[in-house]
Copies of this chain bind each other. A is one copy, B any other.
C-alpha cells in the first residue's frame, strides 16, 4: 500500500498532548470567568452563506476568506466572531432579551500569508454586550474588568489595559477643523507609538493639517500621566465641542467604574493615542499591552459600537465587546516559556497493577475518582521500568503500586514522582484513604501555580 505522508495544512496549529492540556485549562478559565458575569455562551456555524459574511466587503477579508460552492450554494468559513454575532442577534431578535450578553470561543479562518506565529485557523475568545436601542456606559467598564479577571486568574500580571474614547478624538478633530478628514487623521495618530511624534507631525503636514493644530493635537495626545492627570488635562478643554465633552464624560465614568470593579489603577490607563483602526467603533476603545513584550501588539482589544447589525436589521443595536486572539496568545506564551508545565499532566495518579489480575486496580481507581482524583490505570503487561517510565513521560505526579503484599494487607504503595532525593514522603505504604489524602494535598499545592508563570 502506498503511504500518504501525515502532514497538516500550513498555518494550522495542532498542539502536542501536553500543550493541549494547558490550552484547555486556559480556555476553561475564560469560560468560567465569562460565566461568573452572566454571559450566555453561543455557538454559531463555522460555515455561513457568503452573502452573510461578505455583507461588509472590501479590504483583505475577501482575499483571505475560505469561500467555495457546494451544489448551488455559495458558502464561506467565518473569519471572525463579530459578523456571526450580528447575524445571530438580527436573526433571533424577537426571541432575545436585551441587554444580550454573550461569549463565544471558536475557531475562525483567514488565508493570510503563512508566517511564524500567524495562523490561518485560530481561536478567538469574544465577549459582547448588545443593547436594544441604548446601552449604559457602565457596561464599557465591565467588559475590561472581566478581561482583567481573566488574565490575572491565569497568572498573568504584567499587563495594562489602555483605554480611550473615539468621541474625544472626533471632537478634537472637529475643534481643529479636521472633522472631514477624521479617518485619515486617525490613521496617522494610530502610528504615534510606532513612528514617534515628529513623523506623525510630518504626515499630518502632508495631509494639510496646520503646524499649530498638529502641535496642539500632539501636545494632548502624546501626554503621559496618571489617569487623574489626563482627565484633568481633558477637563481644561471642555465646553467647546459637545462630542468632545461627551467623550470626556464617558471616559471619566469608565475609569471610575473600572476601579469599583476591583481593577487596580496600575492595570488600566487612559491613553489618548489609542484609536483602533476600524470605523466601526464609536466610543470607548481598548487595547491590552503585555508589558514584557509590547512588540507583540495588543493581546486583547475591542470597543463600543453604535450599531452591530446594520446589514441585517433596521433595529439599532449598540454594543461593547473585547476579543482575545487565543491561539496567537498561546503560541507566544509557549514560545517565551511562560506556561506552567506542572499543570500539563493528563492524570493525578497512575495506578500500576503488579499482578495479572487487574480487579483491585480497577476498583481502587474508581474509589480515587469518587474523591475527585484523576486516576489512570496502566493495563499493559510490561516490565516495571516501562510502567513507571510511562508515568514519568506523561508527567503524572503520583504512582500507586499494587503488588501481592499490598493486596494482602489492604494497602497501597504511593510514590511521589516529583519528590526530591531526600523527601521523606517519597514512597509510603498506606491505606487507600491515606493515599487519597496525600494525593489531594499534593495536587492542591501544584494547582496553586497558575497556567501562566512569567518569572
Contacts and interface: CB of A to CB of B under 8 A. Distances in A.
B362 A8 contact: no
B136 A379 contact: yes
Contacts of A9: 45, 47-49, 73, 75
A102 to B, nearest CB: 7
A38 B92 contact: no
Interface string A1-45: 101111111001111111011011000000100011111111111
A407 to B, nearest CB: 14
Interface stretch (A227-235, A241-249, A279-287, A306-314): A306-314
A184 interface: no
B40 A17 contact: yes
A41 B68 contact: no
A155 interface: no
Given A97-B393, A111-B70, A8 B314 contact: no
A426 interface: no
A261 B48 contact: no
Interface in A280-305: none
Contact of A142 (B41, B377, B380): B377
A262 interface: yes
Nearest to A373: B36
B41 A380 contact: no
A136 B359 contact: no
B4 A312 contact: yes
Interface stretch (A83-91, A174-182, A267-275, A428-436): A83-91
A380 B86 CA distance: 21
Contacts of A100: 17
A394 interface: yes
Interface residues of A, number: 99
B46 A107 contact: yes
Contact of A394 (B15, B87, B88, B97): B97
B1 A346 contact: no
A375 interface: yes
A52 B6 contact: yes
Interface in A174-197: none
B4 A346 contact: no
Contact of A379 (B121, B139, B396): B139
Contact of A1 (B136, B311, B376, B394): B311
A390 interface: yes
B375 A6 contact: no
Interface string A88-114: 101110011101111000010101000
A337 interface: no
Contacts of A36: 369, 374-375
A47 B66 CA distance: 10
A257 interface: yes
B38 A346 contact: yes
26 contacts: A1-B311, A4-B55, A5-B312, A6-B91, A7-B52, A8-B48, A13-B45, A17-B40, A17-B100, A17-B102, A20-B41, A24-B41, A35-B374, A37-B347, A37-B374, A37-B375, A38-B346, A38-B375, A38-B376, A39-B346, A46-B107, A66-B70, A97-B393, A101-B376, A136-B379, A262-B363
Interface of A: 1, 3-9, 12-18, 20-21, 23-24, 31, 35-49, 51-52, 55, 66, 68, 70-71, 73, 75, 77, 86-88, 90-92, 95-97, 99-102, 107, 109, 111, 121, 131, 134-136, 138-139, 142, 257, 260-262, 309-314, 346-347, 350, 358-359, 362-363, 366, 369, 374-377, 379-381, 390, 393-394, 396
Instruction: Sort A-B residue pairs by CB-CB distance and give the 3 closest, nearest first.
Output: A38-B376, A68-B68, A38-B347
Given A46-B121, A47-B77, 17 more contacts: A4-B312, A6-B87, A8-B45, A9-B73, A14-B43, A17-B41, A37-B369, A37-B375, A97-B393, A99-B380, A101-B376, A138-B362, A138-B377, A139-B379, A142-B379, A260-B359, A261-B366
